[in-house]
Amino acid sequence: MSKKLTVEELLAKAKKPAKIAAAYHPFYEGKMQVMPKCAIRSSADFAIWYTPGVAQPCREIKENPELVFKLTNKWNYVAVVSDGTRVLGLGNIGPEAGLPVMEGKALLFKYLGGVDAFPLCLATKSADDIITACKWIEPTFGGINLEDIQKPKCFHVLDKAREQLNIPVWHDDQQGTATVILAGLMNALKVVGKKMGEALISIVGVGSANTRTAIVLMRAGVKPGNLIMVDSKGILHPNRKDIEAEKGENPWKWDFCLKTNGEGRTGGAPEAFKGADVCIAASKPGPGTIKKEWISAMATNSVVFACANPVPEIWPWEAKEAGAKVMATGRSDFENQINNSLGFPAIFRGVLDVRATAITDDMCIAAAKELAKFAEERGIHEGDIVPRMDEWEVFPREAVACALESIKEGVARVKPSRQELWDRAVAIIKNARESTALLMKHGLIPSPPSEEEVLGRS
């Protein structure tokens, strides 16, 4: 049996990744690079890959633009687009300061999904400019991942870009978060013996993540009246005149005022927690954003997802002490990591493999169901409700589920069989993982200083 850590030890553990990151980032001077994927046997091959030979695929694409998916890497390119206005829990830190996050996103895309993703941090805060930028780069990319854009601008950018582009566009802070939260919720409710259609769910924070999460949860079977949503000013209800006054700018939030909170609760967060079966928080980083006494007021066998990054709204041990049966955060150094990394690499793998023109909420639900199913098949309990990133087999399964849903919805340009999709996803993801391992083995990716060295220096 592992030793139970003290609060001081738990706090030290929580601070450890930031200390190591401070040393490792300058060591590598970035996390991604561009590598050839074609054979280069001698300099003579450049006559094939570049001039004069390259003119031939150019002519073929000119005659049939769809051939760009076969003759170039467009089929596997994704742009990670951000303006740096809502980066993690750090806020509006700008495009340059947001670049490490976008590089990290690209790293996860490649290693977990075999997707060639490029960080594109834009020097604009205009929603129209961001949409225009996405339209300008559409010829190169097979998909666009919007990232860390402040609300409500992010909602408008996503909706308009999805309307105007003919490649999949999604906002990971919205759809990615919703996907993994839904997967975790499915299994957490199984662990505590409750049903999604009956559970009373408190939603803390009504930003981009929880806005789409609420929409996806309702589409997946949660009754709108069983959602109690609370922002910094209190519970959402039809008499929130401040929200009604801004419904032109943020119609989604006003819609929640009209549809959710069937009991007609008023007040703030403490009132939203009373008797709730589940709390889903994506609000201000903690600790202390969520109080222990609020969790104590929840129903027996409660579920708490505290998803703020880099620090959850309440420390896991505090939530457990207050009575939570299942506790999850967005961090990899605690049990039950509810993190977008389980979603976006595989979902994009799936839509890219069928050359889809869109990513819909139903695709997110299909991915969530596959995530939950994978974890349930290998066994779940209160400390293990979702797959882990090192369970790589879940990613091709999720990719196939998403690809098949794309075909079902009629947005796929090609329609491979389930087996063909599986074989392709496995091969591409294995290639990414094994290539990285090979580069490390031969020292082409050098080993960083040991954690002991880094922590000893600090």
C-alpha atoms less than 13 angstroms from C-alpha of 224 in its C-beta half-sphere = 11
Is residue 105 flagged as an active site residue?
Answer: yes
> Rounded to an integer, what distance in angstroms lies between the CA atom of residue 432 and that of residue 109?
10
Distances (CA, A) of 87 to 149, 308, 390, 439: 7, 11, 25, 31
Q: DSSP characters for 45-77?
A: GHHHHSTTTTHHHHHHHHH-GGGHHHHSGGGGE
Among residues 394, 401, 303, which one has the least CA distance to residue 351? Answer: 401
> Rounded to an integer, what distance in angstroms lies between the CA atom of residue 52 and that of residue 360?
42
User: Quick one: which H or E segment has residue 276?
Assistant: none
What's the full length of the chain, in residues?
Answer: 458
74, 77, 105, 369: the active-site residue: 105
Distances (CA, A) of 269 to 21, 196, 285, 295, 303: 34, 22, 15, 10, 16
Is residue 50 flagged as an active site residue?
Answer: yes
28, 37, 50, 70: the active-site residue: 50
Report strand pairing: 116-121 vs 201-204.
unpaired
Catalogue the active-site residues: 50, 105
